[in-house]
């Protein structure tokens, strides 16, 4: 002990409050030892104070750590070199005498011949946000003081293995701030050992406990040396068993260390556990989960008929379940998969979005979900919800069908009563309501523009609670206008007309997805016009080499201020300013009010402008639009002529012409309501940031960005009271960092089970990657796998492969000749704009950005809905 700090603590003295002293593993073992009925092998922890004492005075290590902290995930070789140097130094350090004396004193409580497990326990380990499982070293069956001291040094050094360093880089942990404790525990010599997950790690189901078991020490299982038995338990009953051939096991050697041993043939296919032992383990697991308050990943071993728990950590990969106040079964579908925004949102963004939603939203993992259980239970609404899901995302529909086929999860109501879900108007119903008059869409746009203008004027004079009240009132009016019958008819009527055309042209003429061609270059599409307008900006800049050179060097987001100082800069700035005036409220993930808008950081547009200058000739926007329009008109003429040759041809042609007219008059308007929403969001945001500045000046919050982590209602209260418990902000920031790393499911139940859908299609080429056909045509080209729009470097003719797109990606569509996304449906943004620009597109392609490598040559079958990876020439 030095300066009042202990270098060694008994496990009985460790708990969650000692995380910084004994690391995640030590803290959790101390907690486990306090749970009644849980056996934990006796032992102690060498604290982080000992680690700091032994390493902290070494200046060479400090220099190397500073260097290590400059590396990113791509610097693998540099990380390997520097981390290896640190390890060699750490292993060679002589442990200070006072630390050795404390360790020796604790070991004197045990038999001199006792065997121990010496295990690393980092402060960044076994946390709810990152498990760090297996990143540092463990040594088994270590005997004697000298050997234990030697392995303590090895554990310290293992903090700097290349894998541990890379893991910290990926999870944004500072190497200089992480400390290591070492757990020394009495060795248990088990007949069977394994891992238990108190929630199913594959499906996420919180009511199913999954147990892996193999003979001997658990290291054989953890290291992947053997296949384990897998047992599933629900409600105290074994519901599933998978018995594997267990040919090898790791056992302890009497003199110290371990050995791998072949299991006799007669035992290889025997269950490692009896049903009674499985149920007993599951019961222990449930108690441990209840203690920690979160599903656990538990290491256990069975020795002489007794179950020992040797570690428990949170399962960090589970997607959270929306919280309900009842015990009923619920089925949630992702809103983000329909909005093409599956990223986590901050609390302010979520709450503002909820205020304009059609019905109540469930929140989990920073995402929005809709509970459809009640609508699935009623025959009157089940068909409609499945039909709409199929239109939006067939994988969602298939997942819902899986839930319904189980018969026991959703209680189906008899007869044809609406039930709690209520009746939903079909798309055909909207079409019949819609008068085929293009002035309707123009009138809806004019109404919106007048309302936004009034909002801008009114909001300038408002502050404090009065400002928040005004925004609430405007959001209520926005919601009313979004869901009024005329607006919904204008949006849904064109969608149904397109579906009618596709169905009838396939039936009458044998052509599929004809509406894709007919939808090209429809008028009044504010999103496609945004992409074409950026081509016009490029036309203004193209004649001025000095402006192009200046833009190529842009680093500061205020670059427009200096642009006027170069030749042609004044014209260029005027063109960019005009573009931002019209479209500057847009950005990636724009349904989240907290996202940075183009007007706030115009640098985002610079690569797109330069790409347009490089890839296009002057006046490309007019040519592209007119080319699409002519192709649509040509297709219309062809179809009508062919229809007239059929029985009842004149009637069929007349009806088809009316449907085509509906598509041409209203398909473009579908993109406007979102433009209306984000236009208002930007007005709100500018006003709220002024209010946030006032809160910073009053020392209520630390920075203006802090308001992003409050709900709108909470912000209203903070503005009213000028008081805030800042711990809320800190916790929300930590939660958001965790949520960003999670992949949201399309469908999740109230049990936490993620239901995945599949495409059911045959007769496809071997190796075809299946998705949803949303824009017709076949095209070949180079795949460009892009996750962030600002990282895009495209050449004309590339095929864009990305998780999802929203309207902010539209300018990129001008440079590509095909589109593949992981998320999406027939009417999501990428599909709509791909059809208008005439780009073959396949969406909803699971793991597209993993299965397709950047630079590969691929073929997109936009009509049939699949992708082929072509062999290199």
Tokens coding 75: 């610097």
Among the listed residues 194, 206, 271, the one whose alpha carbon sits nearest the alpha carbon of residue 233? 206
pTM: 0.87
Tracing tokens 């590509």 back to the chain, one arrives at 816
What tens digit of pLDDT does each residue of 496-533 get?
899 999 999 999 999 999 999 999 999 989 999 999 99
pLDDT confidence band for 427 (50 / 70 / 90):
low
For every residue of 482-523, which 3-state class applies, written as one string? HCCHHHHHHHHHHHHHHHHHHHHHHHHHCCCCCHHHHCCCCC
pLDDT of residue 423: 39
CA separation (Å) from 803 to 384, 791, 820? 28, 14, 8
Residue 819: how many CB atoms within 10 A of its CB?
29
Geometric angle at alpha carbon 532, from 531 and 534, rounded to 5°:
70
Of residues 776 and 430, more confidence is placed in 776
CA distance 115 to 118: 10
What's the chain's average pLDDT?
A: 90
Q: Which pLDDT value is given to residue 70?
A: 86
The Cα–Cα gap between 841 and 832 comes to 10
Q: What's the pLDDT score for residue 316? A: 84
For residue 418, name the pLDDT band (cuts at 50, 70, 90).
very low
Q: Measured between alpha carbons, how far is 387 from 381 in angstroms, rounded to an integer? A: 10
684 and 471 Cβ atoms separated by less than 8 Å: yes
pLDDT at 4 over 50: no
Q: How far apart are CA 189 and CA 254, in angstroms?
A: 11
Strand partners, 687: none
The tokens describing 244, both together, are: 């594997």
Question: What is the number of H-type helices and E-type strands within the chain?
Answer: 33, 26
Residue 464 clears pLDDT 70, i.e. is over it: yes
Closest of 692, 716, 694, 718 to residue 706, by C-alpha: 692
Which of 708, 506, 702, 724 shows the shortest CA–CA distance to 594? 708
Label residue 169 by pLDDT band (50, 70, 90). Answer: confident
Of 217-221, 377-381, 584-588, 803-807, give the lowest mean pLDDT range.
217-221
Q: For residue 396, name the pLDDT band (cuts at 50, 70, 90).
A: very high
Phi/psi at 314 (5° precision): -65, 145
Question: Out of 175, 337, 829, 861, which one is annotated catalytic?
Answer: 829
What letters, b where the CB count within 10 A reaches 16 and e where it falls short, cover 163-190? ebbbbbbeeebebeebbbbbbbbebbeb
Tokens of 278: 């499985």
| Degrees, nearest 5: CA angle 576-582-587 | 85
Say if residues 378 and 413 touch (Cβ distance below 8 Å).
yes
**CA-based nearest residue to 243, from 264, 219, 268:** 268
How far apart CA 16 and CA 26 sit, in angstroms, is 9
User: Strand 778-785 vs strand 798-802: parallel, antiparallel, or unpaired?
Assistant: parallel
Active site residue 829: yes
Which of the residue ranges 38-52, 556-570, 730-744, 818-832 would you say has the lowest mean pLDDT? 818-832
678 vs 586: CA distance, rounded Å: 7
Answer for the pair 828, 338: CB distance below 8 angstroms, yes or no: yes
**In the predicted structure, residue 859 carries a pLDDT above the cut 80:** yes
Reply yes or no on whether the pLDDT at 130 is more than 80.
no
* Beta-carbon contacts of residue 822 (< 8 Å; ≥ 6 apart): 802, 803, 804, 843, 844, 845, 846, 847, 848, 849
The CA-based dihedral angle spanning residues 61, 67, 68, 71, taken in that order and rounded to the nearest 10 degrees: 180
30, two tokens: 């101390």
Cα(839)–Cα(849) distance, integer angstroms: 19
Rounded to whole angstroms, the Cα distance separating 689 from 108 reads: 63
Buried b (16+ CB within 10 A) or exposed e, 267-298: ebeebbbeeebbbebbebbeebbebbeebbbb
Tell me which H or E stretch contains 741: helix 727-741
| Over residues 561-582, mean pLDDT | 97
Tell me how far apart the alpha carbons of residues 709 and 492 are, in angstroms, rounded to a whole number: 35
Contact 587, 806 (CB under 8 A): no
- 274-301 confidence digits (pLDDT tens): 999 999 999 999 999 999 999 999 999 9
In this prediction, residue 134 has a pLDDT band, given cuts at 50, 70 and 90, of very low
Alpha-carbon distance of 167 to 101, in angstroms, equals 34
Is the pLDDT confidence value at 798 over 60? yes
pLDDT band at 257 (very low <50, low <70, confident <90, very high): confident
């Amino acid at each position: 002990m030095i300066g009042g700090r202990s270098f060694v603590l008994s496990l009985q003295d460790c708990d969650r409050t000692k995380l910084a002293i004994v690391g995640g593993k030590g803290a959790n073992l101390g907690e486990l030892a306090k749970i009644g009925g849980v056996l934990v092998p006796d032992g102690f922890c060498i604290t982080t104070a000992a680690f700091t004492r032994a390493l902290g005075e070494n200046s060479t290590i400090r220099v190397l750590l500073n260097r290590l902290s400059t590396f990113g995930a791509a610097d693998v070789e540099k990380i390997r070199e520097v981390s290896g140097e640190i390890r060699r130094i750490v292993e060679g350090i002589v442990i200070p005498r006072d630390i050795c004396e404390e360790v020796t004193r604790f070991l004197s409580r045990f038999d001199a011949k006792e065997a121990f497990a010496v295990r690393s326990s980092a402060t960044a380990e076994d946390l709810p946000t990152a498990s760090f499982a297996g990143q540092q070293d463990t040594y088994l069956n270590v005997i004697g003081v000298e050997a234990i001291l030697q392995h303590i040094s090895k554990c310290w050094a293992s903090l700097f293995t290349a894998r541990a360093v890379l893991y910290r880089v990926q999870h944004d942990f500072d190497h200089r701030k992480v400390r290591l404790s070492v757990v020394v525990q009495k060795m248990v010599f088990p007949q069977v050992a394994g891992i238990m997950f108190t929630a199913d790690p594959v499906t996420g189901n919180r009511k199913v406990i999954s147990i892996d078991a193999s003979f001997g020490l658990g290291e054989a299982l953890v290291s992947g040396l053997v296949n384990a038995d897998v047992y599933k338990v629900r409600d105290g009953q074994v519901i599933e068993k998978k018995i594997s051939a267990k040919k090898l096991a790791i056992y302890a050697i009497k003199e110290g260390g371990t050995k791998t041993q072949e299991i006799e043939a007669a035992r290889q296919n025997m269950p490692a556990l009896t049903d009674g032992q499985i149920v007993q383990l599951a019961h222990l697991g449930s108690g441990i989960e209840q203690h920690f308050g979160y599903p656990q990943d538990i290491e256990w071993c069975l020795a002489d008929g007794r179950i020992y728990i040797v570690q428990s950590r949170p399962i960090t990969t589970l997607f959270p379940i929306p919280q309900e106040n009842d015990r009923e079964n619920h089925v949630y579908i992702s809103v983000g998969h329909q909005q093409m925004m599956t990223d986590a949102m901050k609390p302010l963004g979520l709450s503002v979005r909820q205020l304009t939603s059609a019905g109540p939203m469930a929140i989990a993992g920073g995402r929005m979900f809709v509970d459809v259980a009640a609508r699935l239970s009623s025959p009157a609404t089940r068909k409609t919800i499945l039909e709409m899901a199929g239109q939006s995302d067939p994988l969602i529909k298939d997942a819902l069908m899986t839930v319904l086929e189980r018969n026991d999860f959703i209680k189906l109501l008899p007869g044809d009563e609406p039930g709690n879900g209520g009746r939903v108007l079909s798309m055909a119903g909207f079409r019949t309501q819609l008068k085929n008059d293009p002035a309707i869409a123009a009138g809806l746009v004019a109404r919106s523009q007048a309302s936004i203008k009034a909002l801008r004027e009114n909001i300038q004079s408002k502050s404090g609670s009065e400002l928040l009240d005004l925004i609430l009132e405007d959001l209520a009016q926005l919601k009313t206008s979004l869901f009024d019958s005329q607006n919904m008819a204008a949006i849904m009527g064109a969608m149904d007309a397109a579906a009618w055309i596709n169905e009838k042209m396939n039936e009458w003429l044998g052509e599929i997805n004809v509406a894709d061609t007919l939808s090209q270059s429809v008028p009044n599409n504010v999103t496609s016009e945004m992409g074409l307008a950026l081509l016009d900006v490029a036309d203004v800049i193209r004649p001025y080499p000095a402006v192009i050179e200046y833009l190529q060097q842009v680093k500061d987001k205020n670059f427009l201020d200096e642009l006027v100082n170069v030749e042609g800069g004044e014209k260029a700035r005027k063109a960019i300013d005009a573009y931002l005036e019209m479209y500057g409220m847009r950005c990636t993930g724009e349904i989240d009010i907290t996202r940075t808008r183009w007007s706030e950081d115009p640098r985002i547009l610079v690569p797109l402008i330069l790409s347009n200058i490089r890839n296009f000739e002057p006046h490309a926007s007019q040519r592209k639009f007119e080319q699409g329009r002519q192709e649509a008109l040509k297709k219309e003429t062809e179809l009508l002529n062919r229809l007239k040759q059929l029985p009842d041809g004149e009637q069929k042609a007349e009806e088809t012409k009316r449907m085509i007219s509906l598509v041409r008059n209203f398909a473009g308007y579908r993109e406007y309501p979102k433009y209306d929403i984000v236009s208002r969001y930007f007005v709100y945001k500018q006003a709220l940031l002024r209010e946030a500045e006032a809160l910073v000046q009053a020392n209520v919050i630390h920075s203006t960005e802090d308001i992003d982590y409050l709900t709108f209602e909470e912000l209203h209260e903070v503005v009213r009271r000028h008081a805030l418990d800042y711990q809320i902000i800190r916790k929300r920031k930590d939660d958001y960092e965790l949520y960003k790393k999670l992949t949201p499911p399309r469908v999740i139940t109230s049990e936490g089970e993620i239901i995945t859908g599949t495409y059911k299609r045959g007769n496809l080429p071997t190796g075809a990657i299946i998705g949803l056909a949303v824009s017709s045509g076949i095209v070949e080209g180079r795949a460009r796998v892009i996750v962030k729009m600002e990282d895009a470097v495209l050449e004309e003719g590339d095929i864009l492969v990305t998780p999802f797109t929203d309207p902010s990606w539209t300018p990129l569509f001008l440079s590509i000749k095909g589109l593949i996304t992981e998320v999406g449906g027939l009417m999501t943004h990428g599909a709509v704009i791909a059809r208008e620009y005439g780009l073959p597109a396949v969406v909803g392609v699971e793991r597209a950005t993993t299965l397709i490598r950047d630079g590969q040559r691929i073929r997109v079958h936009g009509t049939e809905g699949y992708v082929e990876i072509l062999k290199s020439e």
